[in-house]
Structure 1
Amino acid sequence: MAEPEPEEGRAKDERRWQGRSDAHQSKPQVRKERRHPPQPNQPHGGLPHDDRRFMETRSCTEAEQSLPEIIVAGKYRLLKRIGNGSFGELFQAESLKYHEKVAIKLESSTVKYPLLPREARIYGILQGGLGIPHVRHFATEGAYNVMVMDLLGPTLEDLLNLCSRSFSMKTTLVLADQILARVELLHRKCFIHRDIKPDNFLMGLNRHQTQVYMIDFGLAKKFYSLRSQKHIGYTENRDLVGTARYASVRAHYAEQSRRDDLESVGYLLLYFQRGRLPWQGIRAQSQAQKYEKIAEYKSNIPLQQLCSGLPIEFFMYLKYCRKLHFAEKPDYVYLQQLFKVLFRNQYKLADFLFDWVVLKRGSEEQQAEQKGTERGRGGKRHRLVQKERHRSKDKGRNCYTQRDRKKSGENLPEIEPNECTNEVAPNEDQPRKKNDKACSCSYHLQKMRLQDRDKMAPLMTERRILAEEQEQEQPESHQMPPCL
């Protein structure tokens, strides 16, 4: 029995719609959406938006649910939930031995149409390709189908929010080159993605932080059979598979092929430049009518108007993708050269300094400047304190201070207005008064020792000379003659 298609048996998929007979033919009404302020990048790491087509707003009770008490593959322990869907959940985990962070996708093994085994097989076919996450383990363990893969960084949607809902031309062109390379790799393996959107492209971590990764092959389909050497046939009256915002015009009513993935990439680049697409915010009474109005809007809007204000390469890209035949092989080199030549003409430097990297460095430099300013203020305050301490020590070196006089009960001398009040340096020899108390500082104690030594030196010399004279004047002792 042939394996069912991934979209069959999934009536609750929000991205599919049934029937278009009741759709209105009037011009779609577009409402302006409120632009929310960009949210800071959450330190999620991994695949935070994987399977977002099935995600719903979780309540507090769902967030507080305990994690499944399982040890995946005997060496991975679940840490936290980073994604939730109707057929699978995504968790961040770590290895028990080396504490290495990974991403684990769980799917109930009792579902009627399991999708995780098929997605794991596609990952296996793409294994080793640039920009494809490495799958470390897949198996059915107890009540779950589990897939262990590399942990990745934030999605392009998260980074777009971080950069105020718009990328610079430099960042857009660098992303376009890498995204087209990932799509070409997938097409060479005879698969089409059918769900091109910012949530399915993530940046790497650590030394791969400048590399774009493509994920979520749950809706991928094989368009060419190497065994029979045949391309799939073109059929119409098909339901939409994918995300309506980025889907191609033909994807709303016909079978998809390579040209539809490339057209979705074109809409993705427009989204990066402007932060929204013109058919966002269309109102309709039902999901089917909404998808029908989006398809009508896409087909009626001229490409010149859609790409207005952008370089002509964007218009040439979408025009080429829409003129492709269903089974025609796209010229990937031509499409990539469009953006590479545009990159060179604008004298951009290929240093992989994306907008979010520059933003992060700017914030770090600002924090460093603030810390340096605070440190400078603290150093200045410290120098002032040290200066006051040295000044107080110098004052304490005076032999006869007011505090000593108060302790001795003597009267303080009255200073006449014209009398010089300059302090005498401690190294200058001044005659001390008869009733003055000796200072107990180390300087004057050492000076007193030296003075005593100088006074005692002549006396010691006289004693030594006298002792020598006495020894010389003393008569020799009488010695008895030796016995004969």
Structure 2
Amino acid sequence: MDLLGPSLEDLFNFCSRRFTMKTVLMLADQMISRIEYVHTKNFIHRDIKPDNFLMGIGRHCNKCLESPVGKRKRSMTVSTSQDPSFSGLNQLFLIDFGLAKKYRDNRTRQHIPYREDKNLTGTARYASINAHLGIEQSRRDDMESLGYVLMYFNRTSLPWQGLKAATKKQKYEKISEKKMSTPVEVLCKGFPAEFAMYLNYCRGLRFEEAPDYMYLRQLFRILFRTLNHQYDYTFDWTMLKQKAAQQAASSSGQGQQAQTPTGKQTDKTKSNMKG
């Protein structure tokens, strides 16, 4: 069992619900890889959201693992990085497999059949359009959900958040309607074209089709280089924590300096009293 750090939702709030493009792109790279790893094990996650991605703690997280996590039933952590420049603090883990489903037989590699009239599984905010329509989920749906997560980080909220309805069913219907009526280009307006390209690609995948994970990673890696960012694993929260630590150290240093003259003055006073 591994102790993991805060979720991306926690860190988003810590950063005042604003991530820089550098942080979003570094996260996208790891998130695509985590989902790909799950898919190679013949499972789909079906609940991709910021709360289910956790940052590691300490150096011992820097390994490939698939182990139980006690907090959640049928849960495991997934991390696949072999990069020696990683530390546990920089590594992203995918958790909570309570809604996961095997989409392919281990031995025969036979894909599950296409079905309709399915209930919505997962979190409505990030669910794929096909999931809203009651279509059996497959690999494409995990990837589409990730696209909404990335735009949530970019925009700070999604157009279908905060909709009011009398029942949960009616709310899901409103979310579905808003999601389907919002063109990808409108959702991604004001942000690099790669995000719209990502979502359009995922929405265009066939039910049994394997996503081209490398193509999707490359979309964001090329954008990252074009923007002249350094892949140093320095996330927004890293900067905030470093700044807070520096301020604390500075305050502590000023406190010590303030005490020293007082001490000297006391000694001088004592000396005068003796004289």
Same fold (TM over 0.5): yes
TM superposition shift of 1:168: 1.3
Q: Distance in 2 between matches of 1:152 and 1:363?
A: 22
Match in the other structure for 1:344 = 225
Match in the other structure for 2:180 = 299
The residue identity in structure 1 corresponding to 2:31 is I
SS in 2 for 1:231: coil
**Residues 226-265 of structure 1 correspond to what in structure 2 (within 5 A)?**
226-252=106-132, 253-265=134-146
Match in the other structure for 1:281 = 162
Q: Distance in 2 between matches of 1:315 and 1:177?
A: 16
Q: Distance in 1 between matches of 2:271 and 2:118?
A: 89
Is 2:185 the partner of 1:185? no
Is 2:91 the partner of 1:211? yes
Q: Distance in 2 between matches of 1:391 and 1:349?
A: 61
The verdict on how the C-alpha distance between 1:305 and 1:385 changes in structure 2, with shifts beyond 3 A counting, is same
Q: Distance in 1 between matches of 2:234 and 2:106?
A: 41
TM superposition shift of 1:301: 0.7
SS in 2 for 1:202: strand
SS in 2 for 1:371: helix
The residue identity in structure 1 corresponding to 2:104 is Y
State whether residues 165 and 274 of structure 1, in contact with CA within 8 Å, keep that contact through their aligned partners in structure 2: no
Q: Distance in 1 between matches of 2:251 and 2:169?
A: 55
Q: Distance in 1 between matches of 2:213 and 2:25?
A: 15
CA RMSD of superposed structures (Å): 1.4
Q: Distance in 1 between matches of 2:180 and 2:112?
A: 24
Q: Distance in 2 between matches of 1:250 and 1:200?
A: 21
Q: Which has the higher relative contact order, 1 or 2, with Cα contacts under 8 A spaced 6 or more apart?
A: 2
| Structure with more helix by fraction | 2
Larger CA Rg, structure 1 vs 2: 1
Match in the other structure for 2:28 = 176
**Residues 42-441 of structure 1 correspond to what in structure 2 (within 5 A)?**
149-207=1-59, 208-252=88-132, 253-390=134-271, 396=275
The residue identity in structure 1 corresponding to 2:123 is T
State whether residues 191 and 223 of structure 1, in contact with CA within 8 Å, keep that contact through their aligned partners in structure 2: yes
Match in the other structure for 1:444 = none
State whether residues 196 and 265 of structure 1, in contact with CA within 8 Å, keep that contact through their aligned partners in structure 2: yes
SS in 1 for 2:253: helix
Match in the other structure for 1:137 = none
Match in the other structure for 1:460 = none
| TM-score, normalised with respect to structure 2 | 0.85
Spell out, residue by residue over 1:375-423, the C-alpha distance to the aligned partner (whole angstroms, 9 max, x if none): 1111122223334445566xx4xxxxxxxxxxxxxxxxxxxxxxxxxxx
Q: Distance in 2 between matches of 1:191 and 1:326?
A: 14
The residue identity in structure 1 corresponding to 2:90 is T
TM superposition shift of 1:214: 0.6
Identical counterparts, % of pairs: 54
Number of residue pairs aligned between Structure 1 and Structure 2:
246
TM superposition shift of 1:307: 0.2
Structure 2 gaps of 5+ residues are 60-87
| TM-score, normalised with respect to structure 1 | 0.49
Match in the other structure for 1:127 = none
Structure 1 gaps of 5+ residues are 1-148, 397-484
Q: Distance in 2 between matches of 1:228 and 1:159?
A: 41
State whether residues 263 and 322 of structure 1, in contact with CA within 8 Å, keep that contact through their aligned partners in structure 2: yes
